[in-house]
Every structure is written in structure tokens, then in C-alpha cells.
Chains A and B, each alone.
Chain A
Amino acid sequence: MSQTNENTQPDYHVVHIHRDDFGSKMGLWLFLFTEILLFGGLFILYAAYRFIYPDGFAAAASELDVLLGAVNTVILLTSSLTVVLGIVALQKNNKKLSLFFLWVTVICGLLFLVNKYFEWGAKFHHGIYPKGPALQEMSEGETMYFGLYYVMTGLHALHIVVGLIFIGVVMWQIKKDVLTSTNFQRMENAGLYWHLVDIIWIFLFPLLYLIH
């Protein structure tokens, strides 16, 4: 394993530029593991409280709209597909198509957030939020469920926002030809991050919406 040694020699010493696509990918994967364990802590809490309050969780989950959750799942899966297609397009040197696919991803991500906004909004409207009037009437299990529901979906939405910014940067760099058919690792990294956000939702959807 060795580095390429590139020295331009201006008036000061320039540190070598060393490109290592696989290293960059490995770094991102390691970061994804930290994300998995970040949500992992919440999944442990979820498992614990679902175990302690099975009835409360079932009652609380029935307040959620399965259709809305399913639609959001489809939206995210589609956005994941278009990211991959965007990478394939860039590899095939089709810049325009690549950008088109990424636009679809961005629109899907925004749609997801809009849906989430209405979902949260409806809950707030009914007084189901921490210390809200309706939630205070509910059982302990339901309180735990909604506490976790807000934290988990909130943190997930935050990750969607970060992912969208990441993809936005990548789109800008594709436009400016910083990322090309031979240098696309950053785009792949953005994609990996986006897929992870998708995977977390794949688990959140049945755990939060599909309890009977």
C-alpha cells in the first residue's frame, strides 16, 4: 500500500494530494455504523418499552395512518432507486440524465418531509404531543410510544435534511464537472448515506405503523 507523491513546488511546502476512493468509501461506511448505533440506542428503548407496554403500543399505533406511512415508504424507496440510477448515468458519462435522477431524489425527499409535516401537524392538532392535553389522558404505554415516535421520526427527518444537503452539494459538483464519470466517489458516498436513511425507515415503518 503506498501513496502517490505529487509535489508541485510553489514558494511553500505543499502537502501531497492523495486520492483513495476506497478509503473514502470505508470512512463513510464507518460513519454509517455510528448512525446505525445512534438509532440503535432508540431501537433498544423501543424494544424495551414495547416489551413492557404491549397493549399501550398497539393502542397508540392505531392512531397512525398506515396509508401515509406506506406512501412515505414508497417515496423513499423510489428516491433510493433514483440515486443509484444517477450514479449509473454518471458512470456512463450522461451528466444530464444523472442530474435528472438526482432531482427526482430531491423532490422525493421533500415530499417525504411534507407528508411528515402533515402527519405531525395532525397529531399536534389533536393534542398528542409531549405534555399535550390528549397525551396526558393516555396510558403510560401510549406516552412512551409517542415519546419514541417523535424522537425516532424527528431524528430520521433530520437525517433526510442532511442527506438532501449532501445530495445538493453533489449535484452542484456534477454540474461544475468536479465529479465525473471517472471521479464519482463523493456521489457514491452521498448515495450510501441516503440508502442508510432509507434502511432506517424500512425498519421504522413496520415498528411504528404496523402494530395490532
Chain B
Amino acid sequence: MANGTVAVSDKTAEVDFYHVKTKYKGILSWLLTTDHKRIGIMYLCSMSLFFLTAMSLGVVMKLEMLSPGSTFISAQTYNSIFTLHGVIMIFLFIIPGVPAVFGNFIMPIQIGAKDVQFPKLNLLSWYLYIIGGAIAIYSIMRPGGVMDTGWTFYVPYSIRTTTNVSLSVFAAFVLGFSSILTGLNFVTTIHRLRCPGMTWFRMPLFVWGIYATAWIQILATPVIGITLVLVILERAFGIGVFDPTLGGDPLLYQHLFWIYSHPAVYIMILPAMGVVSEIIPTFSKKTIFGYVPIAISSLGIALVGYLVWGHHMFSSGISDTSRVIFSLLTFIVALPSGIKIFNWVATLYKGSIEVTAPMLYTLLFIFIFSIGGLTGLVLGALNTDLHLTDTYFVVAHFHYVMFGGMGLIFFASIHYWFPKFFGKMYNEKMAKVAAYWIAIGFNTLYFPMFIMGYMGMPRRYYDYLPEFTTYHIISTVGSWILVSGILVMTANLLSGLRNGKKASDNPWGGTTLEWSVPSPPPLENFDEIPTVTTGPYDHSHIHGQEETTK
């Protein structure tokens, strides 16, 4: 303790973070840990459970849509199920997904740090996440019924319905708090704990994605926090601010809701775009094309994300002037997103492309996400939106960007960092089969929705006119393909976890710092804090293959 730096003895450095002796043992070594890697894995486990739950709810919805009329559940049940599906997917999986799991586990290693800046706060974030999830589940079991407002909790219905809205809204509030603390932690970590030589423009692009995301988490989440509190107060005391019978303006609720929830879309996608910018250089065996534009465009997307929320309200009665302005601003988002897609493709150009499982998921992402992005322009244009709003076209669009964007990249990330997380390899062939399986299921499920939406099939209805039957049947069959694909992928990963062969420190030939440490990493990641001398994607210095900076 007396002398400044004492190197960790070699013996402790050999032990990975799963097996190192810590203060607590058994389950407590997880529940009381402040190690960013363990917290990341706890997020991964809890999040996977929530994802599978919400996915099952989605399957039930598709099953109900197999034939017109009430197939096997009532309208009220259907309302509750799509609400739950949305709330769990959005608040418990998509928003926290990549930052909480991979941001926690990978980001500190990528900047050459031993942990995040506030390790205890990091654990608190996980507990808040679990408490939020628990409250949401508890609200389902309470008498009064599952909330049926949709995940947007729109007033005035959400202040009138007798279902358990207050409790669910409170759950979302707690989850928001968890998100804020994670964001605050990450911004401070990236400012303070970069290793020597890790200048801002030597940071891996995933770190840039996490950084931009963390700022949105800090500066947007509180707005929904207060909005949700107001809904609870409105229900409890009738303060009136959102109640039209007392003079309140329900459109102001929508404004406040989307002031958060539109930037939240970028909380979902920015870290995923960061992952893509990691995977593509690794498997193209060359440096990324246009590092600085990609890094800056992350901040650009984060900023522009604040200016476009009104496009969720084109048909809800806001003024014409603001509709035109919001429509114009919406088109600006296409710029930074386009920069990214262009640079990714340019990185692939003349690269030695190696199509491994993570790369395959990433390439599928670029294809599917582009469809999602381009249909977004159709919805961002005022005139076409008025025709398509609240139809299946919107449902298809946001599943292409959310699931096809964040979801597929979540899968890509698991495959990419699986060896680093667990020190084992999965069956590569099965992983690729699952990837194609998922892609086929995905498009069979969601593409017919574009057509149905264009023809006028409204969203959130448990019944439909007979002319939509064929499309709904195709879509439902697609949901079976997709889900079985996801199950195959999960089973393959689990069997890799059990019986997979040992992974080397750098199985992919990656160039960022996480590949310079053992798989799985030791407790504090680095024996000695590294010094960085080159950019992140310099393929002349591949860790483990020649002399490294370590």
C-alpha cells in the first residue's frame, strides 16, 4: 500500500475473473461484485430471459393473427399482450441491450482501463434494472388487469383505464434511472480512464458509439422520467396537466414522451452501429474507411436525434408549421446514417473478407437495416406518413430497424465477443446456419407487413378483414421460422459454452485492446496499464500474432 505502483504478481494475473478469489464466494461473488465483466454477464443473463419472454408474447400475437376474428384470445388480452411485448422489448431489452452487456464488458477493456469509473454505481444500475423488471412483472399479476395502453402510455387513455398503469409506468421510471446511471458512469469512464496514448481519435468506434449513447441516456431519459411521474400523479391526484377535461393538453404528453423516446431510438442503434464498425475491419483485415466521419457521425446522430421527435405526431393534430419543420429535420438523420453505411461498405471494398458468423450477422444487418432506414424516409415524409401512419407499414418499419438493427447486432456481438466472454468457441457452422435461418424467418415475418400496411391494415387490432388473410398467414409462418432460428442459435451458443473448445486470446485477429488480454480476462483486465501508440484498426499490429504494445 505504501509504494505507488506494485505490479500484480504473475500468479494472480493468470487466473481469469471467473476463478479469481474474491471477498465473497458462490452466488454472492456475483450479486455483490463490482467487476464490470461480471456485471456485464449478469445483464446478459437477465436480458436474455426478458428477451425470450417478450419474444414468446410476440409469437402468441402472431398466432392470434393466423385467421380473422378471435382465433384464441380476446381483444382485451391482445391489447395487454402487445403492450407487454412492447414494454419488455423496448425498456428491458432494446434500450439497455448493447450498452449494458457489451458496453460494460468490453468498453473498459477497449480503452485500457481496469474497470469503470464508478464500479459500485454500476452494480446499483443492474439492481435498478432488475427491480424495474420485477415491478413490471408484479404489475402483471396484480388484480385490475395488465395494462392495455401500448408501450407509449398515451394520455388521456392511460389516465382513465382501470388497468395497472401506475405500477408499470413506475417500472419504466426505475428502468430509466438505471439507464441514466449507466450513461453517467460511461461518460466519466471514457473521459477519465483512457490509458496513456489512447487519445479521443484512437478510441475504437464502439467506444464512440457508447459515448454518444451515454450522453443521450443522460440528457433525454430524465424528460420521460418526469413525464411518467406526472402520469402517476395524474392518476393518483388528478393534477390536471394532461387531462383535457381540466384544461390540460394531451399533445404535450406526446411531445414530452417523444422528446425522450425518439432519442431513445438512437440509444438503441448507436452502440449497435459501433459494434458494426468493430466487426467489419476485423473481418476485412484492413483499417476502417473514414474513421473520423464515423466517430463524428455518432455524435451527429445523437444531436440530430433531439430534433425530430415530432415525426411521431404527424397525425395527432400538431400545427402544420411544426409538421413541415419536423419532416424536414427528419430527413437530416439520413445523412449521418448514410455516412456510416457508406464507410462500412467502403471498408469492405478490396478487403480480405472472411465471412465468419459475426460477420455474417453484420452483413445481414446492413441489408435489413437499409430496408428499415429507407422505409423510414417514406414515413418521415409528411404526405406518405398520413397514409401509412398507424398501419402495419409502421410496425414493419420499426421491426426492421429495431430488431433488424439492434437485435441482429446483439446476436453478432454475442458471436464476436463470445470467446472473450467465456474463453470458449461455439460451432461456427451451426452459427452460420442459424444466421441464414433467422434472416429468412425475419423477412418472411415482417416483409408482408409492409404490403399489408400499404393496403391499409391498421396496427394493434386483434381482428382483420378477410382480404389480409394470406399475408397474415405468411407472416405467422415467418414468426415460426424466426423463433426456431433464434432457438437454434441459442442452443448452439449454450452448447459452445458447455463443450466448446478453448478459445485463444485473439481468435479473430482483432486489433483492439480487448484482444490483447487473455480470454476470459483476469480480474482487472491488464497486469499493467497498456500504452497505445497507433489507431484502433492497425492490422500491422495484431495482438498475439507478433510483438504487441503490451
Contacts and interface: CB of A to CB of B under 8 A. Distances in A.
A contacting B, Cβ–Cβ less than 8 Å: yes
A2 B529 contact: yes
Interface string B34-55: 1100000000000000000000
A198 to B, nearest CB: 19
Contacts of A131: 237-238
Contacts of B1: 6-8
Nearest to A149: B239
Interface in A1-50: 1-9, 11-16, 18, 20, 22-23, 26-27, 30-31, 33-42, 44-45, 48-49
Interface in A39-84: 39-42, 44-45, 48-49, 52-53
Interface in B219-240: 219-223, 225-227, 230, 233, 237-240
Contact of A1 (B21, B187, B193): B193
Interface in A103-156: 130-131, 139-141, 143-144, 147-148, 150-151, 155
Interface residues of B, number: 61
Nearest to B245: A140
B6 A6 contact: yes
Interface stretch (B147-155, B247-255, B286-294, B491-499): B247-255
B473 interface: no
Contacts of A41: 222-223, 225-227, 256, 259
B12 interface: yes
A33 B247 contact: no
Contacts of A12: 21-23
Nearest to A129: B237
Nearest to B255: A44
B222 A40 contact: yes
A10 to B, nearest CB: 9
Contacts of A5: 4-8, 529
A15 to B, nearest CB: 7
B18 interface: no
B523 A53 contact: no
A4 B192 CA distance: 13
Given A7-B6, A130-B238, A144 B188 contact: no
A27 B247 contact: no
Contacts of A22: 192
A65 to B, nearest CB: 21
Given A147-B239, A147-B240, A27 B184 contact: yes
Nearest to A37: B222
A14 B9 CA distance: 13
Nearest to B111: A1
B6 A34 contact: no
A53 B218 contact: no
A33 B34 contact: no
Contact of A30 (B22, B187, B226, B529): B187
A13 B117 contact: no
The A contact surface, by secondary structure, is helix
B192 A20 contact: yes
A150 B248 CA distance: 15
Contacts of B218: 30, 33-34
A45 B222 contact: no
Contacts of B180: 31, 34
A129 to B, nearest CB: 8
A4 B4 contact: yes
Contacts of B121: 27
Contacts of B187: 26, 30
Contacts of A151: 230, 233, 239, 241
Contact of B5 (A4, A34, A39, A49): A4
A33 B219 contact: yes
Nearest to A10: B23
A2, A18, A22, A143: residue with the most chain B Cβ atoms closer than 10 Å? A2
A143 B183 CA distance: 37
B6 A42 contact: no
Contacts of A9: 9
A45 B1 CA distance: 54
A22 B256 CA distance: 33
Interface string B233-276: 10001111100001111001001100100000000000000000
A143 B222 contact: no
B278 interface: no
B518 to A, nearest CB: 15
Nearest to A142: B247
B119, B192, B193, B523: residue with the most chain A Cβ atoms closer than 10 Å? B192
B225 A53 contact: no
B233 A15 contact: no
Contacts of B23: 12, 14
B344 to A, nearest CB: 30
A27 B194 contact: no
B118 interface: yes
A13 B252 CA distance: 53
A18 B246 CA distance: 54
Interface in B114-171: 114-115, 117-119, 121
A139 B227 CA distance: 24
Nearest to A148: B241
A20 B117 contact: yes
A3 B241 contact: no
Contacts of B195: 1-2
A53 B221 contact: no
A102 B262 CA distance: 43
A14 B34 CA distance: 11
A47 to B, nearest CB: 10
14 contacts: A1-B194, A1-B198, A5-B6, A6-B6, A7-B6, A26-B192, A27-B117, A27-B121, A40-B222, A44-B252, A44-B255, A141-B247, A147-B241, A147-B248
Interface of B: 1, 4-9, 12, 20-23, 34-35, 113-115, 117-119, 121, 180, 183-185, 187-188, 191-196, 198, 218-223, 225-227, 230, 233, 237-241, 246-249, 252, 255-256, 259, 523-524, 529
Given A53-B247, A130-B238, 15 more contacts: A1-B198, A5-B4, A5-B529, A7-B6, A12-B22, A13-B22, A22-B192, A23-B188, A31-B184, A42-B226, A45-B241, A131-B237, A144-B246, A144-B247, A147-B246
